[in-house]
Structure 1
Amino acid sequence: MSSEAKPLSGLRVLIPRGGPWGDLVSRALRERGAHTVTAPLVDFAHTSEEDQLVDALKRLEAGEFDWMTATSSTVADVLTHHNAVIPQETNVAVVGEATAVAFRDAGYHITRTPERENSTHALLEEWSEIDTGDVLKVLTLRSDVAIPVLTEGLIDRGHDVTQVLAFRTVGVPASVHIREDIESGRINALLVASAKIAEEVAAQFPQLPENTIVACVGVNTLEVAAALGLPDDADDPAHADYELKRALIESVESVIDQSDMLD
């Protein structure tokens, strides 16, 4: 298929995260004809719960947990930074293709990922071990801005959950060149893949060109973006860019579930 015939031909898309997540998304969009520019608008910093994290990782290495969970690829970076050891007898459940890639690249084993669809809700539905009546000891590691979908689902089922904020999500200023490319329309599509990224887009690019596509992935992202006043004209099926925007969002969702940023 020629690039002209691909669904995202003509789009130059800002990818707002780096690492495995950014690599997977960028590859998927390029395969569909887009040009991509990776310029992280968020990064990850040390947790405000460092003492709790260190204690939890010591307990993890000692084999105190039946399971640990992760739905962000950054958790693998945190584990590696702390030289954390996951015993073979401790099961590991992860959600998100980027998360799975990061864990495997770091040398950590994975016991369970959702099969029906790569989402937190699917994991909770398919995770047979959490519905046997036994109380499991589970360690959940997540971001400070995450929605604790998995954590709350396990607590609701009566399990003994230790939840720790493993890292903080912080904003990163875009470079002068990126700002110029966005303001000039050279970058004509922005991928908004989390509430925090929506906040950074609204703060850093307050005057987007009218024809810039703002593609929000995930219900929570959409709600925050709307509250911040980010443009959503292309959400109207009658809008000229509607099909292009839908193709962009669907391309992202084909490789990255929104839950990859939630818990």
Structure 2
Amino acid sequence: MTTTNTTTRGWVSFVGAGPGDPELLTVRAAELIRRADVVVTETPDHTALVRSLGVEPEFVDGGFGEDGQPLTHASRAKVVVKQAKRGLRVVRLMTGDPFLYASGPEEAQACAKACIGFEIVPGVSSVSAVPAYAGVPLTTKDHREVAVVTCGERIDWSRYADDRTLVLLSAVGQIADIAAELIKAGRAPSTPVAMTRVGTTTDQATLTSTLERVGADARAARMSPPAVIVVGDVVDLRTTLSWFETKPLFGWRVLVPRTKDQAGPVSTRLRGYGAVPEEVPTISVEPPRNPQQMDKAVRGLVEGRYEWIAFTSVNAVRAVREKFEEYGLDARAFSGLKIAAVGDKTAQAIGEWGLRADLVPTGEQSAAGLLEVWPEYDEMLDPINRVFLPRADIATENLVAGLIDLGWECDDVTAYRTVRAAPPAAETRDAIKTGKFDAVVFTSSSTVRNLVGIAGKPHPSTIIAVIGPATAKTAEEHGLRVDVLAPKPDVELLVDALADFGAARRAGLIEAGQPVTRPSERKPAARRKSTTAR
């Protein structure tokens, strides 16, 4: 009998992570990261990028050594090979594209020499992405040639004396000397130049200048790496093509006081407008202290005790659904039962359960709006006069009283509790009080009360956006000025209204000949009068 010893071979995927914006990661790259055992990173931002995909592999720093010094290409290759020899699936995450102005070729050669299998997953290169995010095309019908130069010593700049578009990498510290050499070689001193630092991120900043002035302008603006520089007439198109830095909420730091599982749609929409959302849970949704009342109501629902069930929040839908799953029930138990929803979002949550709401307010989406469309009890038409109302422990009695007035009997059942969350970190509390947030979006009265309770009042310079009149009233009762009011109680419309406010504010600053700044960058001496954006 013979035995064979086999050694599991590792596999390395050299994955382009793009220039900074996590949404520029390719579908293939995301798939490999989710399956990876080890991720060898290149920059500190890569760890957060990986975790944003909902995974927690083993991380290995491929950017710096134990002494804190940047690793050479050869040293990085050794790190990658060492991890692969453990027989693991390794993702080597690389800024930009692995085979374009990166150490991918050297590291891949080291894998080949060690007989380790590898693949290359191209990424979006900063060479093209950063100018695109700055609104600078590299080619046009009149400018068809591009030269990319990684700057260093012994560059013969006379080779670039023609009118080709130049993309300069690693040139920030040398830009004054490079500009002088290009002018000496024959380029016009008035040739446009664009310098974009930390491109594709919400910290992106672009300086436009000319060859004769760029050195002084860069020093005055304190431009620092990483930055991509474009030289050529194509830079002039930025005036009309700048799309990223002109987003209505570009760079705004926006506080989202909302539970983690509910903040997603708000944060996603804010990012679409260029904002940087920061989620701070102010409430925690927990089961009722005594579940017996809920258990009894669910049994009554199954037994046909109710004519209606009324959902006044997405949390109520979730609470009933979880109770159904606990009992092994599904949506079929709702057969013959009429379903009411307080608004479109709640109706959508019901729809995701495979059900359809029979009654949704056509006007105001609130308890009052629901009462306006709720039918009176009719002994001839309604075989049962009882309503199951699963709600929060802090819900008001207005809906119950209104239903009773219409002739219905209500089982007002605590389906979940809302409790105040723990205070955020001291750094966040300080940012709230000192005006480091540009805006805060309040999606309910409870978020106002709880944020003030756990973190204090937002600074007067912070833009206050609220979802509806009741929330606005609560904010004003807490001494806050309401700047933005959603036209309807919908979180997406609330974000849209804030974006409209930001766009109007930006246009006003430009019209007045003032620099475009964020609210956190301007500290007014006195509070402005209350205004409302719709």
**TM-score higher than 0.5 here?**
yes
1:97 corresponds in structure 2 to 344
Give the residue type in structure 1 aligned to 2:441.
L
- Provide the C-alpha distance between the structure 2 equivalents of 1:207 and 1:150, rounded to a whole number of angstroms: 31
Tell me whether 1:250 sits opposite 2:486 in the alignment: yes
1:68 corresponds in structure 2 to 309
- Provide the C-alpha distance between the structure 1 equivalents of 2:399 and 2:272, rounded to a whole number of angstroms: 32
Deviation, 1:27, is 4.1
Deviation, 1:198, is 1.9
Farther-moved stretch of structure 1 (45-54 vs 67-76): 45-54
- Provide the C-alpha distance between the structure 2 equivalents of 1:173 and 1:20, rounded to a whole number of angstroms: 16
Q: Deviations over 1:137-182 (max 9, x none)?
A: 1111111222233322211111121111211111112432543543
Tell me whether 1:121 sits opposite 2:368 in the alignment: yes
Contact 1:49 1:164 in 2 (8 A): no
- The 3 A distance-change label for structure 1 pair 120 and 190 is same
- The 3 A distance-change label for structure 1 pair 83 and 125 is same
Equivalent in 356, 362, 378 of residue 133 of structure 1: 378
Equivalent in 403, 408, 411 of residue 162 of structure 1: 411
- Provide the C-alpha distance between the structure 2 equivalents of 1:9 and 1:159, rounded to a whole number of angstroms: 51
Task: Extract unaligned runs of 5+ from structure 1.
Answer: 236-244, 259-263
- Provide the C-alpha distance between the structure 1 equivalents of 2:248 and 2:275, rounded to a whole number of angstroms: 8
Contact 1:67 1:92 in 2 (8 A): yes
Equivalent in 450, 462, 467 of residue 200 of structure 1: 450
TM-align CA RMSD:
3.1
- The 3 A distance-change label for structure 1 pair 7 and 151 is farther
Give the residue type in structure 1 aligned to 2:341.
V
Contact 1:70 1:93 in 2 (8 A): yes
- If the length of structure 2 is used for normalisation, what is the TM-score? 0.40
Give the residue type in structure 1 aligned to 2:346.
T
Equivalent in 28, 35, 38 of residue 279 of structure 2: 38
- Provide the C-alpha distance between the structure 2 equivalents of 1:190 and 1:201, rounded to a whole number of angstroms: 10
Contact 2:440 2:462 in 1 (8 A): yes
Deviation, 1:43, is 1.4
Tell me whether 1:147 sits opposite 2:396 in the alignment: yes
Matches within 5 A, 1:4-43: 7-18=248-259, 21-43=262-284
Give the residue type in structure 2 aligned to 1:179.
R
Q: Deviations over 1:193-250 (max 9, x none)?
A: 33322222212222643312233433443444344x3432xx4xxxxxxxxx32xx32
- The 3 A distance-change label for structure 1 pair 254 and 166 is closer
- Provide the C-alpha distance between the structure 2 equivalents of 1:252 and 1:126, rounded to a whole number of angstroms: 17
Tell me whether 1:209 sits opposite 2:450 in the alignment: no
**Identity of matched residues, %:** 27
Structure having the higher helix fraction is 1
Q: Deviations over 1:15-58 (max 9, x none)?
A: 22246743343344444554322222111112244221111111
2:132 corresponds in structure 1 to none
Tell me whether 1:55 sits opposite 2:288 in the alignment: no
- Provide the C-alpha distance between the structure 2 equivalents of 1:81 and 1:22, rounded to a whole number of angstroms: 20
Which fold has the larger relative contact order, with Cα–Cα distance below 8 Å and residues 6 or more apart in sequence?
1
- The 3 A distance-change label for structure 1 pair 52 and 256 is farther
1:242 corresponds in structure 2 to none
Give the residue type in structure 2 aligned to 1:58.
R
Farther-moved stretch of structure 1 (68-77 vs 218-227): 218-227
2:422 corresponds in structure 1 to 173
Give the residue type in structure 1 aligned to 2:420.
G
Farther-moved stretch of structure 1 (66-75 vs 216-225): 216-225
1:238 corresponds in structure 2 to none
- Provide the C-alpha distance between the structure 1 equivalents of 2:490 and 2:294, rounded to a whole number of angstroms: 33
Contact 1:202 1:230 in 2 (8 A): no
Contact 1:29 1:252 in 2 (8 A): no
- Provide the C-alpha distance between the structure 1 equivalents of 2:457 and 2:411, rounded to a whole number of angstroms: 43
Contact 1:103 1:110 in 2 (8 A): yes
- Provide the C-alpha distance between the structure 1 equivalents of 2:255 and 2:345, rounded to a whole number of angstroms: 18
Give SS of 1:121's match: helix
- Count of aligned pairs: 242
- The 3 A distance-change label for structure 1 pair 230 and 193 is farther
Give the residue type in structure 1 aligned to 2:460.
E
Q: Deviations over 1:125-147 (max 9, x none)?
A: 233xx236336311111112222
- If the length of structure 1 is used for normalisation, what is the TM-score? 0.76
- The 3 A distance-change label for structure 1 pair 49 and 257 is farther
Farther-moved stretch of structure 1 (24-33 vs 80-89): 24-33
